[in-house]
Amino acid sequence: MEPKTLGEFIIAKQHEFPYSTGELSSLLNSIRLAAKIVNHYVNKAGLVDVIGAADGTNIHDEQQQKLDVLANELFIKALINREIVCGIASEEEKDYITISGINGDNMNKYVVLIDPLDGSSNIDVNVSVGTIFSIYRRISPAGSPVTLEDFLQPGYKQVAAGYVIYGTSTMLVYTTGHGVNGFTLNPAIGVFYLSHPNMKFPPKGKIYSINEGNYVHFPMGIKKYIKYCQEETDDRPYTSRYIGSLVSDFHRNLIKGGVYLYPPTSKHPNGKLRLLYECNPMAFLAEQAGGKASDGTRRILDIEPTELHQRVPFYVGNTEMVDKIEDFIQIYD
């Protein structure tokens, strides 16, 4: 049998949404298109002028890279083009963007939150980066302008979420709440094919991913957990792997079994990662793949957001490993 393309897969799965009108399918297709265009630029980085810092900083006071800005523009353009999305929030935009429908009446149903380029400090050194997206149904009535409340929904209300990894090959991995499926881009013809159906974390994980350079700033529970990972027992020490791109670290841990940690530090008392467009989508994927995501005490998907760019400590990966981290936090912090 011919391998299934992402386009065919999206159509085949449309029935999973009761009363579906095909809009979510079309929205996923616009993400598929944007992913291919961004992939095209990421692959050319080094040949064309997209490497290095842009002129500005973003709302987080982080230096924007040229590709951060470009990926942001490309995704927003692709999402606006179809009459489906009423609002977009992005890591690179201070405020959310309101989209008017054809007649300016904003009948569109969905809001999208994106981290257009994740791990952007990796671009200059030819290491994997990604894109993360999260999709909700609006809660304000159709026909009115989108509101902040449409974006500040808890993660369990996501209708779809996923990431693109621009790695040795480019993959799009997503969930609509019916498991996680991964598609690999054949760059010769620009088509994503289903290559990783029904992705699940292996039951046991042996990899921990954390920026250990911040060790002195970590809470006691995390310091103790790191020592636990390094102890010699029958199945430890674990392996340490850290790319510095949540997408890439998560993707490896999903396939090989592991856990990603971004704890609070003295510099970032709430951690560094953003709840709405980094942690929630990854948490949705993790749970759909049989894993777990926590801020140390709470399920990530249950957190009621209060701000667009809110940060949260983040522990995500194999359920057993995240449980263990929660135990350490409970005992020591």
Q: By CB under 5 A, which span of 26-34, 57-65, 112-120, 191-199 interacts with Mn ion?
A: 112-120
Q: Determine whether 231 is exposed, middle or buried from the number of CB atoms within 10 Å of its CB (0-12, 13-18, 19+).
A: exposed
Cβ distance to ligand AHG smaller for residue 24 or 291:
291
Is 174 within 8 Å of 28 (Cβ atoms)?
Answer: yes
Residue 311 interacts with ligand AHG (CB under 6 A): yes or no: no
> Which residue of 7, 177, 244, 290 would you call a contact of ligand AHG, by CB under 6 A?
244
> Which residue of 119, 263, 281, 291 would you call a contact of ligand AHG, by CB under 6 A?
119
The tokens of 20 are what? Answer: 């579906």
C-alpha 279/C-alpha 300 separation (Å) is 7
Handedness of CA 264, 268, 272, 276 (dihedral sign): positive
> Which residue of 123, 246, 283, 303 would you call a contact of ligand AHG, by CB under 6 A?
246
> Which residue of 32, 272, 292, 311 would you call a contact of ligand AHG, by CB under 6 A?
272
Main-chain dihedrals φ then ψ at residue 239, nearest 5 degrees: -95, 140
Q: Nearest Cα to 171, choosing from 247, 106, 226, 105?
A: 247
Q: By CB under 6 A, which span of 20-28, 116-124, 230-238, 251-259 interacts with ligand AHG?
A: 116-124
For the segment 55-84, give every residue that binds ligand AHG (CB under 6 A).
62
Q: Determine whether 47 is exposed, middle or buried from the number of CB atoms within 10 Å of its CB (0-12, 13-18, 19+).
A: exposed
> Which residue of 87, 118, 134, 283 would you call a contact of ligand AHG, by CB under 6 A?
118
From Mn ion, ligand AHG, none, interface partner of 181 (C-beta below 5 to 8 A by class): none
Residue 118 interacts with Mn ion (CB under 5 A): yes or no: yes
Task: Estimate the crossing angle of helix 280-288 against helix 246-256, to 10 degrees.
Answer: 10
> Given the rule CB under 5 A, which residues bind Mn ion?
91, 115, 117-118
> Given the rule CB under 6 A, which residues bind ligand AHG?
62, 91, 115, 118-120, 211, 244-246, 249, 272
